[in-house]
Structure 1
Amino acid sequence: MHKFLKSLLFTFAVSSLFVSCSKDAVEKKNFIAYDGVEYPLTKAYFEGYGQDQPNEGYLIDAYFFSEGINVIGANPNKIDSLSGSGTVVYLELFSNIKDLLEKGDYIYDANQTYLSNTFDFGLVGLNFDLNNGNGSVFDISGGKVSVKTSGTSYEITFDLTESGGKKITGSYSGEVKYQAYSAINNKGVAKKSNHVSDEIR
């Protein structure tokens, strides 16, 4: 009887573990939250633009989109243009490693020093229609972006402040599509926004 009870308890413990793991996996969401409302994110793209000066970081443009945003490009990792409507997050981050967003915290830098582990520009579009510009677009004026890596997967946490003083928080976990431009032109590009970010402004 004692042996049977131990076996039953072990089975229950293992079952609980699997249920708990499954629950954690389900609860892990990709989203941006603003003013008490959550907006989903479903895909992410990084573009590497290299380093302008030896003491500066390497520019990584990071994009996060919801399902309604269509990425147009001949190369599946490259964004030539965007269409559709939904949620858009765009950040200019400066990494310590060329063509790779290094793990760590990236702090907003209003002085635009382009130093590693900073970001100096960000936009968040909510219910934003890229075809006609309707919707809400917020300039980021403060905060932190935290990055964890595991192979080719990223876990990114947003703790941002928009120019009106309200918080924008959220997270993205998963694979990221990546395109490097630094090998093509490594001079002067780190301080220039590309044409895709201009579509969001």
Structure 2
Amino acid sequence: MLNFTKLLCVFMLAGLVLSGCKDKEEVDPADTVSYDGKSYDLAKGFMLDYGQLGTGQGHNIDLYLASSEIIIHEKAGMPDSTSGKGQLIFFEMFSSVPNSLAPGTYNFDALQSAVASTFDFGETLFNANYQTGTGEIYRIVSGKVIVEKNKDIYTITFECVDYLGKPIKGFYKGALKYYDAR
């Protein structure tokens, strides 16, 4: 009986240990944006750096997150146009540091003061079809974007509201291609 009890304790302990282990898919949310009851995949992102626009202002870095079907075309090493079908999210952000998005919370700034840790413009483009020129555009009027960074990997979480009062929430974890537009 004592051996059976010990064996049962070993199995229970092993079960507790193993149940505490999670793989990446269980820990990180999916790279998606959700709007109006629908969820859309995000697969890539890039930053367009315009530099510091004035004394006391943050560094203007435009953040773009897109689905895999959206193609960014370059000309002379800079984004020139987009094509394809899918989703595109845009935030005009102001970082406290040059050349990257500083980790932290960026709050919507309706006054467009361009101070660090704010964003003053955002839009979503759902179901875009660049060939036909169709899609659904929604302007962001409030919210926050949380940026985390580990080496070259960004974790972007956003909770915003569009001009219709509908929530726009999303998560993206991955590299962001950098373009210097200064």
TM-score bracket, shorter-length normalisation = 0.7 to 0.9
Quick one: distance in 2 between partners of 1:23 and 1:70?
Answer: 26
Q: Which aligned pairs between 1:173-188 and structure 2 lie closer than 5 A? A: 173-182=173-182
Aligned partner of 1:151 in structure 2 is 151
Higher percent of residues as helix:
1
Structure 2: gaps (5+ residues): none
Structure number with the higher strand fraction is 2
Contact 2:46-2:176 at 8 Å conserved across structures: yes
SS state at 1:24 partner: helix
Q: Distance in 1 between the 2:31 and 2:25 partners?
A: 15
Residues 3-152 of structure 1 mapped to structure 2, 5 A cutoff: 4-5=7-8, 7-18=10-21, 20-25=22-27, 28-73=29-74, 78-152=78-152
- In structure 1, list runs of 5 or more residues that go unmatched: 183-201
Sequence identity, in percent? 32
Secondary structure at the counterpart of residue 12 of structure 1:
helix
SS at match of 1:79: strand
TM-score (norm 2): 0.88
Question: In structure 1, what is the Cα distance between the partners aligned to 2:7 and 2:171?
Answer: 45
Contact 1:49/1:99 (8 A) holds in 2: no
Match of 1:196 in 2: none
**SS of equivalent residue, structure 1 residue 39:** strand
Deviation at 1:129, TM superposition (A): 1.3
Judge conservation of contact 2:29–2:171 (CA < 8 Å) in 1.
Answer: no
Query: Using the alignment, how far apart are the partners of 2:109 and 2:20 within structure 1?
Result: 43
Runs of 4+ in 1 over 4 A off after TM superposition: 2-7
Query: TM-score when scaled to structure 1?
Result: 0.80
1:69-108 per-position Cα deviation (integer Å, ceiling 9, x unaligned) = 1122268x85332100111001100000011101111111
**How many pairs were matched up?**
179
Q: Report the residue type matching 1:21 in the other structure.
A: D
1:87-133 deviation digits (Å, cap 9, x = unpaired): 10011000000111011111111211111111111110010112332
Larger of the two Rg values belongs to structure: 2
Name 1:186's counterpart in structure 2: none
